[in-house]
Chain A
Amino acid sequence: MWDHEIRAMASSHAIIAASMLMATVIPAVALPGFSVYGTHLLWLYLVSGAVTAVSVAVFWLLGITPPTKKHTLGYKLSRFFRSCVYFFLSCLFFHTVVVLYGAPLIVSALETFSLAVLLTSLTTLRCLCVLGPNVQAWIRVFSRHGAMSVWDTCLQITVACTLVGAWVGAFPIPLDWDRPWQVWPVSCSLGALFGYLSGLVAAPAWIHYHRKQLIYKCK
C-alpha cells in the first residue's frame, strides 16, 4: 500500500515539475521578448498559475483531501471560499514577512507581492490541497512528530525546501556583481523554485528510503 502511495506521489510530483517546465518553455517559444530575467513577473505569474492549476487537479484526482462530513453544495462552496480567503491571507502573510526581512515597503511592492504569490502557490496551496482549509490540521502537521500520513511528511519536506530555498536565494543580493539575477526578487524566486523542485524530488525519495522507520500514529 505504501509503495502504491509513493508511486502516486512520485508521478504527481513529476507532473507538477513538468507543468513548471512547460510554463517556462512554452511562453519562451510563443511570446516574443519573453525571458526569465527580463519579464520576470510575467514568468512568476505563469509558473504560479501552472503550479496552482496542476496541483489542484492532481490532488483532486488523487483524492487525498480528507473526506468532508457533509456533501452539500453549500458546504463545498463555503470550503472553496474559505480556501480562497486563506490563499489571499497567506499572500499577505508572506508579503509581510518579506517586508520584515528588509524588502522596500513602497518602492517595489509589486515585485514583493509577486514573490509572496509564488511562495503561497508553492506552499500554502499544497496545504490547502492536502489538508483542506483547516488550520488545526496545519498546526498539527508542522509541529514536531505531527505527521500522520505519507502525504503529511511529503508536505513537510516540500514546504521546508521551498522556504529554505527562498531564504538561501536572498544571499547573493548584497554582492556587487551587477548580474540580472541579483535584481529583486529574481534570486529569491529562483531559490524558492529550485527549493520546491528539489523538495519534489527529495520527498518521495526520502520517504522511500525511510519507509521502514516511518510509523504514523492514527487519529
Chain B
Amino acid sequence: MKIRSSVFASFILIFEVIGIALFLRGFFPVPVRSSLSSKNKLSDLPAEPLTGRSPNSSRLPQPLFKRVVIMLVDAMREDFVFGPNGRMYMPYTRHVVERGSSQSFVAKARPPTVTMPRIKALTTGSIPGFIDVVMNLNSPALLEDNLIWQAKTAGKRMVFYGDDTWVRLFPKHFMEYDGTTSFFVSDYTEVDNNVTRHLDSTLKRDDWDILILHYLGLDHIGHISGPHSSLIQPKLLEMDDILKKIHSALISKEAEGSLPYLLVLCGDHGMSETGSHGGSSEPEVNTPLVLISPAFKRKVGMEKPGVVEQVDLTSTLALGLGLPISQNNVGRVIPSVLEETSLRDQLRFLHLNGHQLSCLLKDSMPDYEKEIGFEQFRVAEKAHGSWMKLYLEGNTSEVLSNMGKKVLKQYLEALAAMSSALSKQLGKYDMYSMITGMVFVFQLLLVLLLAMPEALSGAAAVDLPVLSALLSLPFYLLCLLLASVHVLVCTSAESSCYFCSLSWGLVFAAVAFSSAMFCILVSIATRRIPVGPKFRGTLPAPAQPLFIIKAPLGSSGGGGDWSLSELDVLLLAGTVGHTLSLAASSFVEEEHQTWYFLLNTLCLIVFQDVCRKYFREQSASEDEEEHILPSKDYHPSTYPKAEICSEKWLALATPLFTLVCCRLLRSLNQTGVQWAHLPDIGHWLNSSEHKMVLSLLSAFCLVLIYLLVQRRCSWVSKVALALGLLGVYSYRAAVGNVLFPWQHSSRTMSKGTVEARFVYVFVLGILFTGTKDLLRSQIITADAKLKSRGLWEIYSGLVLLVSLLFRAHNLPVLCCCLLIQNLMAQFIWKKLHYDAAQTTIMHYWFGQAFFYFQGNSNNIATVDISVGFVGLESYVEAPAIFLTALSTYAGPLLWACHLVCFLSSHRSPVAVGHGCYCLALLRSVPAAAYIVLVTVLRYHLFIWSVFSPKLLYESMHLLLTAGVCLFFNIMEQSHGSSKS
C-alpha cells in the first residue's frame, strides 16, 4: 500500500500519542481516593467497640482544644527553629520549645514541595499525587473532604489571613479573610505586614475558633537570596515576635475551666540550599512543627524533636477539635499529643483514626484483607472491645491499665502499618501498561526510521506492505503469542493494572495492531538490507539510520561517503546530543541552555555558509582585491549592481541579527533552576516604575507585528488585523499592564473581558477569511497565489491570538520571532538552497528555543494559567485549557505554521511531505527516548520534581505536533488536488 509521507507521518504520530497516553496512565500512580464522593459526617462515626453489649455508645470524647491558631510560615526549614542557629533566629520559640508546655516535631513534607499541594495535604490529610497537582492546576475550590469543611460544618468560626491560595481553595469557608497574592516575589515585607496588621484586633476578639495565618515573606526571601542570606534573620525574628504576641494574647484570654488553646507553628515546605523548593532534598522536605498548649506537659530541656509525617497534623487537629477525620486522610494521630487524656479517650481517638484508615484501605485496595495493618487493626479493635467491657464493669486494677496499654500499642502498630501501606500505594508503577506503551512507541519509531529513504525520496511516498503483513502466517502467530502473554500477565499480576482492565475488544485491537506493526517492520527491514549491503556486517542496527539519513540530508555530498557539510553534522549531532542530554536531571532543568547553545551554533554555521557563498563567488572573479572582515562596515565598489550588493549585505547581516536577537530574548526571561533567580529584563519591565517603558515597548512591538504580518494578507484581513492589535493594546491597558498616553494615574483594574472578546471577534474573522481563501483555491480555482494568501491569513490570525495571550513584556518575543522568520525566509532559506529536511530541522530548533524565550521551563510552575481567563468571565474548562496550551506552546506552533507556509510556497512540490515527515521524526525520537529514560530512572530522587513534569511537556508537545502534521496533511492534499 503506497501512502504519502505526510499521511504516513501523521498516522505514526497519532498512534504514538495513544502509546504515550497508555504509558502515562501506567506511570502516574492513581491517587488514593475513597470511592464515596460524600464527606465524613459526625453521625457516621463508628461506635466505641464493646464486646457483649449492644454498641450504643457512639459518643466522641470531649475535644482537647477550644481555640486553635495555626501559624504557617511558608518555606520554614526545620533547622531555622531546631538547628544550632535556632536560638539566634527565633529566641522566643526556642525558649517555648525547650522550657514551655509544648510538643515539637520535624514534619516531613512529601514532594512536590510546592505550596498548593502542601496546603491540600495539610487540610485533607491525603498525599496529592503528582498528576493531581497538574489536573488541579487551576481548579479553584477544593471539593475533597477536608478539615476546613469539617470545621465549618461543625459550626466553628474561622478567620484566615495570608496567601490567597487558601481563599481560592476554600471559598466561603472563612468568616473573615484577607488574601495576599504571592505574585511579586521581590516583595517580602508588604506580604507579611498585610497579614500582621489584622492580628491585634483579631486577637482581642472572642468570636472565632480557628485562626489561620499564612506568612509568605520567608519563601520570597528564599527565592531571592537563599537560606543563608542576611535577610533571613530579621524575617525570622519578626515571625518570632508574632508568635510571642499570639502566645501572650492566648495566655491572657485563657479562662479557668474552659478547654485550653492550641498554637501550631508549622511550615508547608522547606527551602533548598539555593532557596528554591519543589524537589525532595532533605532541607526542602523537613519542616518544623511546634504545638503549644497548656494541655501539654512542661518541658525541662531541649529534646531531639521526633519525626512525623506532615499529614499527621490533619488527623491530630481533627481529633483535637472533635471533628471527624477527613475521608482520604492517610496520616495517623500523633500519640504524644494525646498523652494527657484518659486511657479510654486515647483508645477511642486511635480507634477513630484506625477506622477511617481501614475504610480508605478497603476502598483503595482490592485485596485489603491481606494487608498486615488491616489485620492488626481488627485484632486491636477486638481487644479494645474486651477492655471496654472490663472498664465499664468498674474494674480499676493494674490488669486493666496494663491491658489498655497493650491495646494502645496494638493500635499504634496497626495505624503505622495501614498508613505506610496507603502511602506506598502512591508510589507504585503499573509496569505492564508502561511497557506496552513503550513497545508501541518504539515499533512506530522504527517503522518511521526505516521508511526514511522512501519518505524523503522525490516521490515522497512510502510503500507499506500492510496487506501482505496481514495475510502472513507470522502475523497470526504473533497475535496468538501476544494474546497469551497478555492473559498470563493479567492473571498473575498482584497489583491492579490499567491495561488489564481494558475491555477485550480494545486489547485485541492493540494486540493485532502491534503484531501487524511488527510484521511490517520486519518486511521493510528485509527490503532495506539489500540497499546497503556493505553496512550490514560492520554496523549495529541502530547506527544504520544515520547512514540512511545522510543521503537526503547531505546537500553537497554524494550518496556513499561521509561528506556531510558542517550544517548537516551540526543538525544531526544536535538532535542526537539533545536526546541523550535528557538523561541528566540538570540538563532537563536547564534544557533552554541546550537549545540556546545549539541555536547560536546554528546561526554561526549559517553565517559561515553565507560568507562562503558570497565571498567565494567574489574571490573567484577578482583575486587581487584585498578584503576586510565581513562583519565590518565595508562597501565594495566593485559590484556593478547595487541591488545584489545590498542583498548580499542583508544576507550576511541576517544570521548576526538573529544572534543578537536571541541574546536579547535570552535575558528577557530567566528560566530553569540554577540561574532563575538572576534579574532579567522581564521583571524590570513588570515593576510598576517602568510601566511607561513597557507601554512604549509593547506599542512599538504591536506596530512592528502589524507591519511584518500585513504584507501578505488581503485588505480585509489587514483592517481586521490592525483593529485586533489595537484591541490587544486596549486589553492590556484595561488589565492594568500598560498605560494609554492620556491616562496617567493607574485606574481601577478590570478584567478586560470586553476588549478581549473584541480581539477574539477579529481573530475568528481573519481565520474565517483564510479558510475561505484556502477552500476557494482548492475547490474552485486551483490558484496557488490564493492558497498561499489563505495560509498566511490563517497564520496572521494565529499571530493575533498569540499577541493577545502573551503577557505585555513577552510581546518582543513574538516580534523577534516574526522578524527572524521573515529575514531568514527571504535571505537564507531561499537563497542558500537548503532542502526541506534542513529547513524543517532549523524551524524545529527555533521553535524549541522560542518555547524557552517565552519564559517557559520544564517545570509545571511556569505555565501561565491566567491566560485561561482572558476574555472569560469565569473559569470554563475547555477554552481555558485550549488557550493555556496555545500560549504555552506559542513558540513551537508559530514556527511550525511558518514552516507550512514556507514549504508550501517552496519550489519543490514534495517539500511539504518531506517537512511533515521530518517534523514527525524530530518529535518522536526525543519522546521515545525520554519514556525509556523515565522508566529506567523511575526510582531517581528527582523523578517527581524534574523528570515527570518534563514527561508531561513532551507528551503535550507530541500531541500538538500530531495536530500540526494533520494540518500539513490537508495542505499537501490540496496541493495534490490543485496539481491534478
| A positions within 8 Å CB-CB of B | 89, 93, 97, 99-102, 105, 134-136, 139-140, 143-144, 167, 170, 173-176
Contacts and interface: CB of A to CB of B under 8 A. Distances in A.
B379 interface: no
20 contacts: A97-B604, A100-B660, A101-B600, A102-B596, A134-B626, A135-B628, A135-B629, A136-B625, A136-B627, A139-B619, A139-B627, A140-B619, A167-B601, A173-B593, A174-B586, A174-B587, A174-B589, A174-B590, A174-B594, A175-B587
Nearest to A145: B616
Nearest to B662: A100
Q: Which 6 A-B pairs have the closest CB atoms?
A: A174-B590, A175-B586, A176-B586, A100-B659, A174-B593, A100-B663
Contacts of B631: 93
Interface string B415-452: 00000000000000000000000000000000000000
A175 B674 CA distance: 9
Interface in B604-639: 604, 611-612, 615-616, 619, 625-629, 631
Contacts of A144: 612
Contacts of A175: 584, 586-587
Given A139-B619, A144-B612, A174-B590, A101 B597 contact: yes
Contact of A89 (B596, B629, B667, B673): B629
Contacts of A93: 629, 631
A170 B587 CA distance: 13
B625 to A, nearest CB: 7
B625 A102 contact: no
Contacts of B673: 176
B666 interface: yes
Contacts of A170: 597
B600 A143 contact: no
Contacts of A100: 600, 659-660, 662-663
A143 B627 contact: no
A139 B615 contact: yes
Contacts of A89: 629
A97 B667 CA distance: 16
Contacts of A102: 593, 596-597, 600, 663, 666
B663 A99 contact: yes
Contacts of A143: 612, 615-616
A64 B780 CA distance: 71
Contacts of A167: 601
A134 B625 CA distance: 11
Contacts of B611: 139
Nearest to A103: B663
For chain B, the bracket of interface size reads: 20 to 34
A30 B826 CA distance: 59
B655 to A, nearest CB: 11
Given A174-B587, A175-B587, 6 more contacts: A100-B659, A102-B666, A105-B667, A135-B626, A136-B619, A143-B612
A195 to B, nearest CB: 15
Contacts of A134: 626
Q: Which one of A89, A93, A167, A175 has the highest number of Cβ atoms from chain B below 10 Å of its Cβ?
A: A175
A86 B615 CA distance: 20
Given A139-B619, A144-B612, A174 B596 contact: no
A169 to B, nearest CB: 12
Contacts of B667: 105
B947 to A, nearest CB: 15
Nearest to A134: B626
A61 B604 CA distance: 36
A100 B600 CA distance: 8
A134 to B, nearest CB: 8
Contacts of B584: 175
Given A102-B596, A174-B590, A135 B627 contact: yes
Contacts of B616: 143
Interface string B563-607: 000000000000000000000111101100110110011001000
A144 B604 CA distance: 16
A170 B593 CA distance: 10
Contacts of B660: 100
A135 B586 CA distance: 42
A170 B662 CA distance: 18
Contacts of B662: 100
A143 B586 CA distance: 38
Interface in B807-832: none
B210 to A, nearest CB: 41
Contacts of A101: 596-597, 600
B127 to A, nearest CB: 27
A105 B593 CA distance: 16
A136 B674 contact: no
Contacts of A136: 619, 625-627
**Central interface residue in B586, B660, B666, by most chain A CB within 10 Å:** B586
Nearest to A160: B566
A93 B666 CA distance: 20
Contacts of B593: 102, 173-174
A172 to B, nearest CB: 9
Nearest to A177: B586
Nearest to B630: A139
Most A CB contacts (10 A, CB to CB) among B585, B596, B597, B625 go to: B597
B303 to A, nearest CB: 35
Interface in B845-897: none
Contacts of B626: 134-136
A116 B562 CA distance: 33
A187 to B, nearest CB: 13
A99 B663 CA distance: 8
A55 to B, nearest CB: 22
B629 A174 contact: no
Contacts of B586: 174-176
Nearest to A163: B604
A134 B628 CA distance: 9
B367 to A, nearest CB: 42
Interface in B656-712: 659-660, 662-663, 666-667, 672-674
Contacts of A176: 585-586, 589, 673-674
A139 B626 CA distance: 11
A176 B601 CA distance: 23
Interface string B907-943: 0000000000000000000000000000000000000
Contact of A174 (B604, B628, B674): B674
A102 B592 CA distance: 11
Nearest to A144: B612
Contacts of A139: 611, 615, 619, 627
B462 to A, nearest CB: 34
B394 to A, nearest CB: 66
Nearest to A175: B586
Contacts of B604: 97
A6 to B, nearest CB: 25
Nearest to A139: B615
A170 B577 CA distance: 14
A218 B628 CA distance: 24
Contacts of B666: 102
A57 to B, nearest CB: 27
A47 B183 CA distance: 49
A85 B601 CA distance: 27
A167 B593 CA distance: 13
Nearest to B625: A136
Contacts of B589: 174, 176
Residue among A89, A99, A136 facing the most chain B CB atoms (10 A cut-off): A136
A102 B628 CA distance: 27
A120 to B, nearest CB: 14
A50 B653 CA distance: 36
B283 to A, nearest CB: 15
B578 to A, nearest CB: 12
A185 to B, nearest CB: 15
A170 B590 CA distance: 13
Nearest to A142: B608
A97 B615 CA distance: 21
Nearest to A86: B629
